Structure 1
């Protein structure tokens, strides 16, 4: 078998694989470089031929010789400064990019840490404001003037006392006007009835219901007329204007006249009950001379005025109390709003803290990558793709000797060649130059 046929038999097939490392930029190789490359390949071919002649093409010895060839190739690559520089260029660029990335991450982290301090400061400020407002809410009823609130201290106590007085007076007016209105308009007097029994009938409301719905509704609702008049007195008294004073005067006159009508009707019935043939007809002149007439008026009208004054006092105290409550509610709403802001800030702080943690983790990983890149830059890059080419030349020289000089049968010669190829492939696997990773680089420390 001639040399050409052996070379064709051993010719390697290159499998194109997408490179995992950034490929170096291609440059034109001048004729001098081509000549140097050819000479280098020729030297490996001749070295293989020579070593094979010394060992009679023994494939076991080939394994040791290939280790020596790899060491030779490694030493040669170390001496090629410009080639090493080009091989390391992508790693240098990546290292610079990683360093720039760390600077950006560091700036971003510092910014986030400043923002975190600001958020925590805002929370402390809001919490301090909440504590202050809570203290003011508790202190407002005792010292309203301290907070420029125009309200009287102890308004709540006065309000309660006034309300306690207002309830029985209201019940009294209801009882009085139910009895007097029933006596004045619906009750029939008899000779056995006393003045008190005629005016205040304990069963007036029950009797009115027995007499009919109209009578019952009249005596039931008439007290609310007087209470409504008292409420209007309070409302008109809030605004100190001449028109309101006139309205107040008219309300008092109307109430007084209504009480006079009730007293007149009752007194008229009592007068008719005791009237003789010589008695003159009952009129206002006679009514004004009767003590019970004025007693009925003052028992209703004076108490009605007292009720109006107490009601006005209670409403004023309630207003004072409302001022304090209003200020408390304003502060309470601020507390709620600030609490919501604090919760929102806490969520933002959690997100910022998580981002800072991610940034720190990424910085650590980037520093690790920079260290790896520095190790690559400080070491020697052995291009296994190139080694495969030179090792192929060496083995071809080795096999050429077997084909030309070993005097054995063709079958034995082919067996030797196959064994050598197997050793060659094993060596490529050992140094990481197998066909699957032919575009990767093999690193070796200096």
Structure 2
């Protein structure tokens, strides 16, 4: 086939190359590079595309025959391919070991999950068992929570009433503004609406405290943003109440003459007023403590059933183990893909090894490329059009693809 290709294309060489001398002119000269040879031939045939194709095929045939007749090269190439095959087989053996190890780890995890299932069934069959540690936490939490709740109810009902409805007298001060025992009575005497508004104040703040617990038990990272927003809202709410009470106390101080008539009570004055900070911290700090204790009590209540708590722990372990199984299965899939790739590579190398002749395609392509590079350089010198150069490049690409694929 290679010989027929040579005979077919040699007829396309210029008719001037019939004599021995002219043939030598078209041949590669001693110590002449393929790049220079390409320039010289291109100049001699004025960039003929048919001649380009013939010489590319000729060069391929010459190098093919040269490599085919080189017994040392053939032996070296076969040895190189055999080494690659042996390496691929070693890789497959190593990957098989990793695959078996992964399957064993997967089975071990499945056995552990099965044991946990048995433990969970045994727990569910047991009678209710109280978690003593959680019970103590719950009792302590309730003991602390009840007076704190009473404190917050009194504080926020009083501060709401003082901030929005109270008539401040000469004896008004920050203490009786925060803790007015008659706030609910006076609000009821004024109207049912006023009483309802005052009663809603502590409910609002306790609802914010419950929200803190609700967000705290969530698993998403956004819970921190939500908890931060709750704390900011509560602090701002307390600051507004403190400012309004402080402003009322300042106005009363002006009336009774303890403060000058031209004195003002704005933001900067509120910041430097100790009464403002007293109201804020007497409410906000206790609110934070109430929220923490409430969260502790709720957590203790959820852990009160010892069997259920142990069951939750088992479920958490099982979820982690299931994730381990997924990782092992993913690793097994990757290993199977690598093993398959190696098997396919061995099949391809074996097919090459069975061929009569093994050639070094990269070296042949390099020489053909050098020849064509010289050819295109000479085409520029001859001033040939871009269309002619594109046509020559197309011939080169198709010829190389046909011969070397």
Scaled to the shorter chain, the TM-score interval is: 0.3 to 0.5
> Computing the radius of gyration over CA atoms, which structure comes out larger, 1 or 2?
1
* TM-score normalised by L of structure 1: 0.39
Normalised to the residue count of structure 2, the TM-score between the two structures is 0.43
